[in-house]
Amino acid sequence: MSEVHFEQVAKKVFPELDDDLVPYIASILEENQTASAEELEETLSPILTGYEVVSEEEIAKRCKLLPSKLHRRKAKQEEEKQKTHKLDHPLTMNNMEEIEKKTTAASLLWNPQKLLINTNDDIDEKKNMEMLQARKERVERRAERRKMAATPTEEVYEAEAPKLSVNMEAQGKTMDISVEDVTVGVPGKQLVIGAWLKLVYGHKYGLIGRNGIGKSTLLRHIARRQVSGFPAHISVMYVEQEIPESDDSVLAQVLKSNTILQTLTEEKDAIEAKTKTDSASEAEILRLQHVYQELANRNLTAPEVSAREILKGLGFTREMMEQPTRVLSGGWRMRVSLAAALFSSPDLLLLDEPTNHLDIGTVIWLENFLEAYDKTLVVVSHDRHFLNYICSDIMLIKDQQLLYFKGNYDTYEKVFKEERLNYERERMSIKAQIDHLMIFINRFRVNANRAPQVQSKLKVVKKLQEEMDAIPVIEDDPMLRFQFVDPPQLTFPILQSNDVTFGYTPDRILFRDINFGIDFQSRIGILGPNGIGKSTLVKLLLGDLVPLEGQVIRNHKLRCAVFTQHHLDQLDFTKTPLQIMKDHYPTEEIPQLRSQLARFGVTEDMAERPVKTLSGGQKTRVSFAMITNTRPHILVLDEPTNHLDIETIEALANALNKFQGGVIVVSHDQFFISRVCKELWTIRNQSIIRFNGEFEEYKNLVSKGKI
């Protein structure tokens, strides 16, 4: 059956489909043309509901119509075939037994319960295997589509402990990576098309680009070896999310993540056991020496010591290292994932926002570790200072291509601006030449005596126009905006702490006799290691906790908006931003809610899409729109930059500087703190101490262990 037939069926059964979605659904029908109604429903339902085409109940009804429509044309073809053809050879019981043996052997390759063999034809073994393999691939594609269709614009997969993807036969092969014509995307959207992936061994690349442009998707495709032509001998490890809960200790989880260590250790132990009984062959003894050398080359002669050093650097105490991972919070399980990757030391290490939820001291340790990393690194980060410290190159995703720049992020910004300016100057220079020539051409166009000169200059103009058209046009990405509505003024005091002492129990005092005041001009950055009490201080300010002694005075009209590290958990992913806003503010009209979303760059189209289809940065903007709709007097922001790209962070900082209310920030982002905060508070010795200096000075003191 032709592709046109399947597209016709798709349109007829699902007339609501957009034109862009019809070929995709048609391809699924073609791959599953022999499937039952239930199987078709299972495959199509997550896709169609994810795109909000029709309801689940309606999908079930319509899928019952599909088998007859898909088989109708095929049935006619089979009927005609039966009229004019007979079996070339009669089937005997021996023939059927032979086919059954071949089928059984082939079925051991994969799930035998899903095999359907047509025994009405004389099928040889080769054809049998081809049928099985084709069917296996269809099932695997179907499963992958179901998995990816859960969120139409984002890939979804189950959390798992990071594992080293490795091929042990890398000796003598180049460790550089060069793959042309790389295309990656998600259902309904291509993110990178025909790009050139080129990574020089030992270089450290910062992968940048706007939210939703495909940075994480590209890393996932590389890690899963879904990039055609990617060298098989390169070991890869990707860290994006926390490990799942388990009974394994933190240390055990890190050690088991290094599959090379496991393989070499098992081989070493087996040969050593033989040497104790003098039963090892000469070849095995030589192999044992090679294993020892391989462990030494990979710094795995004392693996537990190395693993503990990495865990310590990431903030784990010895007690925490022995705890099962199921008792850890999500932020600490994320650190276990990061530790596992650093310990495994793959040829290509892929990190996605590794500094999220880390305190300043841990970020400094990670910067130093990665600076010394002697293999290839690709890192996605919103922290420009982190990128400046560790990156030798910048890789930009723009216009569905990969662009490369030598140097760190600041160098990239400078070069990118200069390059764009040079292109513009070159274009203006050629245009000036064309304009000058066109004056002559227009003046003498009708002069017969000047006709040869006019024709000659027209050719020059054409050539210059071609040169100008060939100059790349580098356009600025549209500027994102944040717009905080200024609050009404209040009389003093707005928010004040008088001799406050607090502890969760009287014998565990966190703060003693703290005094401060916050007003509309306050721009405060709260600094300190995780667990020191930053979040507790914020809760005291907001009235969520009551002091043991002293008092926190708040103006009775004071409104505060709080943005937390886990703000995304507050959003219902099945609803649209507009629905979420209406749920929170039922008395407000839709136009007003749309305007509020628009203040934070949530477009009309974005406001109508399920939250699950939005990128992390887009979800953050929805959250900002939701919490600030009350026109708060004070904004309390706990790690607000974690899911934003670099440009959006700058837009947020600019908007906060225009806001006529108070701002309290808990963050490790040096650029953001430096841009927004006028004063820095540190928590030490049960007190709040104002730091008289810049963030860079504070960071230097932390790195030297003086704070």
Q: How far is CA 334 from CA 79, 117, 242, 345, 384, in A?
A: 60, 47, 4, 17, 21
User: In terms of domains, do 522 and 598 share one?
Assistant: yes
What pLDDT does residue 220 have?
92
Q: Does the residue 421 lie in any domain?
A: yes
DSSP state of 396: E
Please say which residue of 470, 486, 515 terminates a domain.
470
Please say which residue of 407, 435, 450 terminates a domain.
407
User: In terms of domains, do 512 and 398 share one?
Assistant: no
Above 90 in pLDDT, residue 446?
A: no
Q: Which of 347, 352, 308, 322 is nearest to 334 (CA)?
A: 352
What pLDDT does residue 195 have?
94
As a whole number, mean pLDDT of residues 682-700 equals: 90
d(CA 572, CA 567): 11
User: In terms of domains, do 185 and 56 share one?
Assistant: no
As a whole number, mean pLDDT of residues 512-530 equals: 92
Of residues 299 and 678, which shows the higher confidence score? 678
Domain with 357, as residue range(s), is: 176-235+346-407
As a whole number, mean pLDDT of residues 589-607 equals: 91
As for how many domains the chain has, the answer is 4
User: In terms of domains, do 123 and 196 share one?
Assistant: no
Above 50 in pLDDT, residue 109?
A: no
| Mean pLDDT estimate for the chain | 81
Other CB atoms within 10 A of residue 521 CB: 10
Q: Does the residue 332 lie in any domain?
A: no
- State the Cα torsion 385-386-387-392 to the nearest 10°: 110
* Percent of the chain scoring above 70 in pLDDT: 81
Q: Does the residue 296 lie in any domain?
A: no
Q: Which two three-digit tokens encode residue 706?
A: 């003086």
User: In terms of domains, do 690 and 572 share one?
Assistant: yes
What pLDDT does residue 511 have?
93
Above 50 in pLDDT, residue 670?
A: yes
Q: Which one-letter amino acid corresponds to residue 12?
A: K
DSSP state of 66: H
Q: Does the residue 330 lie in any domain?
A: no
d(CA 183, CA 65): 35
Above 50 in pLDDT, residue 404?
A: yes
d(CA 266, CA 273): 11
Least confident interval from 223-232, 233-242, 334-343? 233-242
- CATH code, 225: 3.40.50.300
User: Which range, 138-152, 478-492, 574-588, 609-623, is most confident?
Assistant: 574-588
Residue 160 contacts residue 336 (beta carbons within 8 Å): no
Above 60 in pLDDT, residue 83?
A: no
Least confident interval from 403-417, 464-478, 501-515, 608-622? 464-478
As a whole number, mean pLDDT of residues 428-455 equals: 88
Q: Does the residue 271 lie in any domain?
A: no
What pLDDT does residue 115 have?
30
User: In terms of domains, do 110 and 26 share one?
Assistant: yes
As a whole number, mean pLDDT of residues 363-374 equals: 94
Above 60 in pLDDT, residue 531?
A: yes
DSSP E strand boundaries for 331-392: 348-352, 376-380
User: In terms of domains, do 112 and 197 share one?
Assistant: no
Q: Which two three-digit tokens encode residue 305?
A: 């010591």
What pLDDT does residue 119 have?
37
Interval 57-79: pLDDT, tens:
778 888 888 887 776 555 444 44
Q: How far is CA 464 from CA 123, 469, 475, 602, in A?
A: 65, 9, 22, 42
d(CA 657, CA 201): 42
What pLDDT does residue 393 have?
96
DSSP state of 568: G
Residue 28 contacts residue 44 (beta carbons within 8 Å): yes
- Could you write out the DSSP letters of every residue in 584-647? H-TTS-HHHHHHHHHTTT--HHHHTS-GGGS-HHHHHHHHHHHHTTT--SEEEEESTTTT--HH
Q: Are strands 189-199 and 177-186 parallel, antiparallel or unpaired?
A: antiparallel
What pLDDT does residue 464 have?
92
Order the strands of the 662-666 sheet from edge to edge: 560-563, 634-638, 662-666, 523-527, 679-684, 687-691
What pLDDT does residue 647 have?
87
Above 70 in pLDDT, residue 264?
A: yes
As a whole number, mean pLDDT of residues 324-339 equals: 88
What pLDDT does residue 295 have?
82
Above 60 in pLDDT, residue 132?
A: no
User: In terms of domains, do 677 and 564 share one?
Assistant: yes
Return phi, psi of residue 501, to 5°: -120, 135
Q: Are strands 560-563 and 236-239 parallel, antiparallel or unpaired?
A: unpaired
Interval 269-285: pLDDT, tens:
899 898 888 888 888 88
User: In terms of domains, do 374 and 508 share one?
Assistant: no
User: In terms of domains, do 8 and 137 share one?
Assistant: yes
Above 60 in pLDDT, residue 359?
A: yes
User: In terms of domains, do 29 and 138 share one?
Assistant: yes
As a whole number, mean pLDDT of residues 672-690 equals: 92
What pLDDT does residue 172 have?
66
For residue 567, what pLDDT band results from cuts at 50, 70 and 90?
Answer: low
Q: Which residues contact 637 (CB under 8 A, 6 or more apart)?
A: 563, 663, 664, 665, 666, 667
For residue 249, what pLDDT band results from cuts at 50, 70 and 90?
Answer: very high
For residue 122, what pLDDT band results from cuts at 50, 70 and 90?
Answer: very low
For residue 530, what pLDDT band results from cuts at 50, 70 and 90?
Answer: confident
Q: Does the residue 574 lie in any domain?
A: yes
